[in-house]
Amino acid sequence: MYRISVVPGDGIGPEIMDEGIKVLEAVGDVCGIKFDWKYFPHGAEHYLKTGEVLPDEALKEMEKTESIFLGAVGDPRVKPGILEKELLLKMRFYFDQYVNLRPIKLYPGVPCPLKGKGPEHINFYVVRENTEDFYVGIGDRFTDDKHNSILEIKRDLYDLKFNVDITKDKASEVAYQVGVITREGSKRIMEFAFELAKKKGKNRVTAVDKANVLTSVYGLWRDVFEEVAKGYPDIETEFNFVDAITMWFVKNPEWFQVVVTPNMFGDIITDLGAMIQGGMGLAPGGNINPEGISMFEPIHGSAPKYKGKNVADPIATILAGGLMLEELGEQKAADMIEQATIEVIKEGKTLPKDIGGSAGTSDVGEAIAKKVREL
């Protein structure tokens, strides 16, 4: 019995979550896996009603489960940054989900925006560091001529405190954001990337940075990558500046096998990856703590304008459920979800609108659940 925390979230979140759970229940029936779903109401509606985003009590309840399944979060009625920082980032940091895993796979039958590229060309993984870099959430904004800030970062690995004194002249207002890379944080994400390459039969790991400009933070990143790579002599390695990798994702996606990237650059290039694999509706992601509680989600937003219309593509959520099963050690069940999804897409009878069909959200989920039972 797996106890799973479920956060349906906002907009289309509850609808796509229903389909994700429908498919998980189907594969559970086939493989003898039982689930105990514990629902959490947190998201925009909860915040607007109560003023509360995600209390510590909810996190403590989530600690009693094996994994977290997230729908989508976001609402135009809530100021940008509130839900992102106080719900999504809070969960990532609290559970130390230092890996953001993004499979970039183009499935047969899915239209690709790149001319001449097919499933054999687009099949790699992006491993994004999920707790450091310029997303640590510290910075400030000021108008006074003299300014002082005490900035703190608390992680399982370390605690950092910055005492920042700034004197300005002429500028009317100043804002700054601090990016942090640590040896410990870099080492563990790079080890995960190399181990993933071994597990998936990949023979190249590409490290992304901008070390030619941001020399301190990404200089350390490069040093650690080279040190970790020595432990994997059978795996080829290379560096790629982030601006260059955006070009090569488009021109030669078949080159890439495992890509390891700092947090902010990973946020950007994984969206590009989603588009070359057919769109956000097909892109699952995992926020992983290999020794703790992980969270799985579609990487798209909440699309509030489509709420309740039964038109959203649930495939990313369904595939995220497969990633969750893989992390829980249920590889056979995970493979069945992916294979059932591939078969439904190839048949072309029950496709969502974003990949050329007319099927509703629930129809797509039902078709994949049925296919799981037929495998």
Do 329 and 269 sit in the same domain of this protein?
Answer: no
Tell me what the mean pLDDT of segment 43-48 comes to.
96
At residue 245, the pLDDT reads 98
Do 141 and 264 sit in the same domain of this protein?
Answer: no
Do 123 and 262 sit in the same domain of this protein?
Answer: yes
At residue 263, the pLDDT reads 98
Do 120 and 239 sit in the same domain of this protein?
Answer: yes
**64 lies in some domain:** yes
**282 lies in some domain:** no
**106 lies in some domain:** no
Do 116 and 239 sit in the same domain of this protein?
Answer: yes
Do 20 and 158 sit in the same domain of this protein?
Answer: no
**283 lies in some domain:** no
Q: Is a pLDDT exceeding 90 seen at residue 14?
A: yes
- Each residue of 237-250: pLDDT tens digit? 999 999 999 999 99
> Do 220 and 180 touch, CB atoms closer than 8 A?
no
DSSP H or E segment with residue 91: helix 90-94
**285 lies in some domain:** no
Domain that holds residue 222: 112-132+182-277
Distances (CA, A) of 328 to 1, 2, 317, 322, 374: 11, 9, 17, 10, 23
**307 lies in some domain:** yes
Tell me what the mean pLDDT of segment 182-208 comes to.
98
Do 215 and 116 sit in the same domain of this protein?
Answer: yes
At residue 132, the pLDDT reads 96
CATH number at residue 202: 3.40.50
- Each residue of 56-74: pLDDT tens digit? 999 999 999 999 999 999 9
Do 123 and 66 sit in the same domain of this protein?
Answer: no
**Considering the entire predicted model, what is its pTM?**
0.95
Q: Would you state the structure tokens that stand for residue 209, as one six-digit string?
A: 């940075």
- Each residue of 163-181: pLDDT tens digit? 999 999 889 999 999 999 9
Do 269 and 317 sit in the same domain of this protein?
Answer: no
Do 250 and 146 sit in the same domain of this protein?
Answer: no
CATH number at residue 343: 3.40.718.10
To the nearest whole number, what is the mean pLDDT of the chain?
97
What is the spatial distance between Cα 144 and Cα 167, in angstroms, rounded to a whole number? 9
- Each residue of 222-238: pLDDT tens digit? 999 999 999 999 999 99
Q: Is a pLDDT exceeding 90 seen at residue 137?
A: no
Do 298 and 323 sit in the same domain of this protein?
Answer: yes
Question: How many domains does the chain fold into?
Answer: 3
At residue 201, the pLDDT reads 98
